[in-house]
Amino acid sequence: MEHDTDGTLLRTARAALVSGQGALNKGWHGLFHIPFRAWLSYLIARRWLFIAFAVGAIILNLPQPDGLTREGMIVLTMSVMATILFVTEPVPLPTVALLLIVGEVLLLGRASSEVARSLMNDSVLFIMGSLMIAVAVVKQKLDRRIAFLIVRFTGTRTANVCMGITLVSGVLASFVGEHTVAAMMLPVGVTLIRLTSDDPAQVRRLAAVLLFSISYGASIAGVGTPSGGARNAIMIGYWHQFFYNPTDPATWKYAVNYMRWMAFAYPLFLIQVPFVTAVLFFTFRPKQKNIARAVVRLRAQLADQGSMKVSDWSTIVIFAVILLLWIFASDGIGLGIVAILGAAAFLVVGLVGWEEINNGVNWGVVLLYAAVISLGVQMKETGAALWVAESFLALLEPFGANQGFGLWAAVIALTTAVTNTMSNGAAVAVLGPIVLKLAVVANEEPLVLGFLTAVASAFAYLTVVGTPACTIVYASGYLRTTDFLKAGWKMVLVSTIITLFAASMYWPLLL
């Protein structure tokens, strides 16, 4: 049993605070009648919140470092506090967004209307739209047809089935996002496991291989196209905000469009597919080398679906149009507007109801991304990102890692460490401004360091909470947290080597 965040203590404290022999009814002096244990319980339950505030207070009272403005110091303090709250989750995460918004007005002295404006941009529209599309796509039940295609073409060898799952999960995830694919493919994986054996002990290793094929397949592909994940849209937004100047042709390359992103990132996904299967088989060594029984039974289950329905074709057509618009029109109207248009199309055609979308999207996450992106922009505008970049570079200098290959490896290591403790979108939102300024200071190409950050944010193979796909497959109940570590470190190694190889040999051809 996991994820214990001391709610008991909170409830104890609340119960004591509310009941507390009517302490509050006695007026303010009644507070002194609240049992000490209730106060203590409350403090322990919210300890990370208080620690975050204490750390913030300490940083704000430290002497101002050379080269950092007061505003920059405040933004940095808010970033550190937000990071602590992201990782430890003492309060519901959308609360962090609310605190950041309040902080920008009260601590930085920005006008509230200005802050409100900074919360909505194309990246946020894209996140919102793609989540709505994700719900609409999952609701269409195309997963059965996809599963049928996989088991039809892969045969019955476990390795082939796993590679088929990795490839199909990856291709889908690269366009519709890894959470969508994990939600669609999890039943396929679990059904194959259940059809092999009802005894979890018999299929533990097989379950790990099948389920990780889904999550790692989706993770490595999530960076394949801009629509593969929020982090990609966030990085595209940062490049645009930090470097793009419509009057300067030399900066036009920073308006990265759909195809240009794919040219950089898609080959990395395709190269990694066989490595995923190899790493998983090497790590878990399933007893069942052939799952003919399960595949045949699954084929039989899926064979009676009948021909494609109008709703199936409508879904495919709408998604194809969205994809074409992303590729050919997003330069002009933005990725976000295309995503919103796609969501609207699903609603207009009636393939999904608003209530289904409303219940399926966690709007708090959209708010959270909006606030973190807004903070990221403040990091740049106040000079905080530049100062952190310079300091980080100074740290790397003694190791010779302040430029070139060493710097790339350091950026990948930093991003991998951060992304394994929080969502990859949040990791890119927090690190993006710093890494892009780092590129400027170190005289490196911002596109390369930006891509390294975006790609490495997918290396969250080590923990359950690292990526949405990992969280979703873990919810099946077949995996242990230690399984992520066992396979994850090998995946981190493989992905790092492939990415560094791409950065040194392949990406220069595209710049």
Which one of residues 99, 190, 211, 223 is an interface residue with another protein (CB under 8 A)?
A: 190
Q: Among 134, 223, 211, 240, which residue's Cα sits nearest to residue 475?
A: 211
Residues in the chain: 511
Query: In the structure encoding, which two tokens stand for residue 10, read together?
Result: 């909170």
Task: Report the nearest approach of another protein to the CB of residue 208 (Å).
Answer: 15
180 touches another protein (CB under 8 A) = yes
Is 2 within 8 Å of 481 (Cβ atoms)?
yes
- Interactions with another protein, residue window 341-370 (CB under 8 A): 359-362, 364-366, 368-369
187 touches another protein (CB under 8 A) = yes
99 touches another protein (CB under 8 A) = no
Which one of residues 230, 339, 436, 449 is an interface residue with another protein (CB under 8 A)?
A: 230
Site string for another protein, 159-178 (x = CB under 8 A): ------------------xx
| Complex with another protein: residue 179 or 437, whichever CB lies closer | 179
DSSP annotation of 248 reads -
Stretch that binds another protein, among 114-122, 128-136, 279-287, 406-414 (CB under 8 A): 128-136
Q: Which residue has the tokens 């710093």?
A: 434
Stretch that binds another protein, among 4-12, 269-277, 431-439, 494-502 (CB under 8 A): 4-12
- Interactions with another protein, residue window 465-484 (CB under 8 A): 465, 467-468, 471-472, 475-477
Cα–Cα distance between 124 and 372 in angstroms, integer? 10
Task: Report the nearest approach of another protein to the CB of residue 444 (Å).
Answer: 30
Task: Report the nearest approach of another protein to the CB of residue 80 (Å).
Answer: 19
423 touches another protein (CB under 8 A) = yes
Task: Report the nearest approach of another protein to the CB of residue 126 (Å).
Answer: 12
486 touches another protein (CB under 8 A) = no
202 touches another protein (CB under 8 A) = no
In whole angstroms, how far apart are CA 125 and each of 136, 265, 353, 370, 401? 17, 22, 20, 9, 37
Query: In the structure encoding, which two tokens stand for residue 21, read together?
Result: 């022999």
In whole angstroms, how far apart are CA 31 and each of 43, 68, 82, 429, 479? 15, 43, 30, 41, 46
229 touches another protein (CB under 8 A) = yes
Cα–Cα distance between 408 and 235 in angstroms, integer? 17
User: What's the gap between Cα 167 and its chain centre?
Assistant: 20
Q: Which residue has the tokens 């669609």?
A: 184
Query: In the structure encoding, which two tokens stand for residue 439, read together?
Result: 């590129």
| Those residues with Cβ within 8 angstroms of residue 236's Cβ, 6 or more apart along the chain or in another chain | 123, 226, 256, 261, 335
Which one of residues 37, 117, 289, 309 is an interface residue with another protein (CB under 8 A)?
A: 37
Residue type, position 206, single letter? L
Is 473 within 8 Å of 212 (Cβ atoms)?
yes
Residues of this chain that interact with another protein (CB under 8 A) are 1-8, 10-12, 37, 40-41, 44, 89, 92-93, 127, 131, 134-135, 138-139, 141, 143, 177-180, 182-184, 186-187, 190-191, 194, 200, 229-230, 359-362, 364-366, 368-369, 423, 425-426, 465, 467-468, 471-472, 475-477
